[in-house]
C-alpha cells in the first residue's frame, strides 16, 4: 500500500495526498450484503438540530459486516478486497464453501484467493479468527470481542492492532491501541493481523469541499462564540476565554470523565497514556 502526492494542477490538489488503492480489487459491492443508510443531518424527529456540524455528503449504502465470525470450521475463500465508505478500513468479501457470502474487516496482507477460517484448531495466520485461549502469546491481533459472542468491538479502524501479552486463569492480558492494558476473557475471539489501509492517517484531503462530501459541515471555534453559546465565548476582540472545555463546561485535554465506580474498571491493569 502506498501514498500518491498529486501535482498542484489546482489549488485543491496542491497539498492533496491519497492512497493508491492498490489492494482494492473491485468497485462493485455484493448486492445481497447492502442495506439502506438513512441520514439525519443532525436533526431529531421534530426537525430540530441536536448534533452540530453534520449534514450533506454523498449518498451511501451500508455494507453488512460479519463482526462475529461465527461460521466455525467452515473454510471461506477471499473473493475481493473492497472500499467501504462507512469505515476507514477496507473490507473483504468471503465466499464460504456452503455458498454463503459475508463481508469482514480486511487485514493487511489478506489476498484474493486466500482461504480463511474461524473457530478452534485454526492456524494463527492473517485473516483467521481464533479464541484468545488458542492464539500464541505476542501475536498481533485486531477485531477483538469484549464479551463472548458479542462480535468485534475493539481495534477495528484502519491500521489498528493490539498485542496478546499473557494468559492467567480465565483471562488474557491484551495491550490495546490506546496503550491501555486490559484483561479479556479467553473465550472471546480476535482476528490475526493488523487492520488494512494503515496509510489512512497520512492522507490529506486538500480542500474543505472534500469534508462536505463526507457529510462534515464547517466547525465553529468556541472562542469566537458569545458567552451564552459556550463557556469559552465572549471577551473583547481576539481575547480567548478560559480553559479548554466543552459546551457543558466539562474540561478537556486530560480531564478524566470515566466513572470511578464502573464495573469493568477491575479489568483494566494500566490506563491509557
How many separate domains does the chain show? Answer: 2
pLDDT score of 145 more than 90: yes
Q: Does 49 map to a domain?
A: no
With 0-12 / 13-18 / 19 or more C-beta atoms within 10 angstroms meaning exposed / middle / buried, residue 107 is: buried
85 with 147, same domain?
yes
Domain of residue 151: give its range.
Answer: 3-42+54-200
Evaluate whether 141 touches 155 at the Cβ level (below 8 Å). yes
Q: Does 268 map to a domain?
A: yes
Read off the pLDDT of residues 68-125 as tens digits, 9 standing for 90 and up.
Answer: 999 999 999 999 999 999 999 999 999 999 999 999 999 999 999 999 999 999 999 9
Q: Does 26 map to a domain?
A: yes
Q: Does 214 map to a domain?
A: no
Q: Which residues of 119-132 are buried (b: 16+ CB within 10 A; e: fewer)?
A: beebeebbbbbbbb
Rounded CA gap, 28 and 83, in Å? Answer: 9
Q: Does 213 map to a domain?
A: no
Which pLDDT does position 22 carry in this prediction?
A: 92
Beta pairing partners, 216? 54
Q: What pTM was estimated for this model as a whole?
A: 0.92
**Residue ranges in the chain assigned as alpha helix (H):** 208-213
DSSP 8-state assignment for residue 7: P
Read off the pLDDT of residues 212-263 as tens digits, 9 standing for 90 and up.
Answer: 999 999 999 999 999 999 999 998 887 777 889 999 999 999 898 999 999 9
66 with 181, same domain?
yes
CA atoms within 13 A on the CB side of 66: 22
138 with 255, same domain?
no
88 with 156, same domain?
yes
Total residues belonging to the chain: 273
Q: Which residues contact 77 (CB under 8 A, 6 or more apart)?
A: 94, 95, 97, 113, 114, 115
Scan for cell 494500566, then name that residue: 270
Best CA proximity match to 101, nearest among 163, 183, 30, 53 = 30
DSSP 8-state assignment for residue 108: T
Which pLDDT does position 236 carry in this prediction?
A: 87
Which pLDDT does position 1 carry in this prediction?
A: 63
Mean pLDDT of 40-51: 96
- CATH number, domain of 111, equals 2.40.50.140
Q: Which residues contact 266 (CB under 8 A, 6 or more apart)?
A: none
Amino acid at each position: 500500500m502506498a501514498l500518491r502526492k498529486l501535482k498542484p494542477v489546482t489549488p485543491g490538489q496542491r497539498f492533496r495526498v491519497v492512497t493508491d488503492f492498490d489492494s482494492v480489487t473491485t468497485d462493485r459491492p455484493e448486492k445481497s450484503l447492502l442495506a439502506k443508510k438513512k441520514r439525519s443531518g443532525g436533526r431529531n424527529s421534530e426537525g430540530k438540530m441536536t448534533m452540530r456540524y453534520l449534514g450533506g455528503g454523498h449518498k451511501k449504502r451500508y455494507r453488512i459486516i460479519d463482526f462475529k465470525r461465527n461460521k466455525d470450521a467452515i473454510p471461506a475463500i477471499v473473493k475481493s478486497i473492497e472500499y467501504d465508505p462507512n469505515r476507514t478500513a477496507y473490507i473483504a468479501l468471503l465466499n464460504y464453501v456452503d455458498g454463503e457470502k459475508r463481508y469482514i474487516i480486511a487485514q493487511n496482507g489478506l489476498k484474493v484467493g486466500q482461504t480463511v477460517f474461524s473457530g478452534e484448531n485454526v492456524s494463527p495466520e492473517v485473516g483467521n479468527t481464533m479464541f484468545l485461549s488458542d492464539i500464541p502469546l505476542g501475536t498481533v491481533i485486531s477485531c477483538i470481542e469484549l464479551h463472548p459472542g458479542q462480535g468485534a468491538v475493539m481495534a477495528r479502524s484502519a491500521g489498528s492492532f493490539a498485542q496478546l501479552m499473557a494468559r492467567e486463569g480465565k483471562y488474557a492480558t491484551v495491550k490495546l491501541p490506546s496503550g491501555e492494558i486490559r484483561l479479556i476473557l479467553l473465550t472471546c475471539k480476535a482476528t490475526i493481523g493488523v487492520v488494512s489501509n494503515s496509510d489512512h492517517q497520512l492522507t490529506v484531503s486538500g480542500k474543505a469541499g472534500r469534508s462536505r462530501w463526507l457529510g462534515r459541515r464547517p466547525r465553529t471555534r468556541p472562542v469566537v462564540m458569545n458567552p451564552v453559546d459556550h463557556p469559552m465565548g465572549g471577551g473583547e476582540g481576539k481575547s480567548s476565554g478560559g480553559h479548554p472545555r466543552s459546551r457543558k463546561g466539562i474540561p478537556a485535554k486530560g480531564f478524566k470523565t470515566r466513572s470511578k465506580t464502573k464495573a469493568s474498571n477491575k479489568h483494566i491493569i494500566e490506563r491509557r497514556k
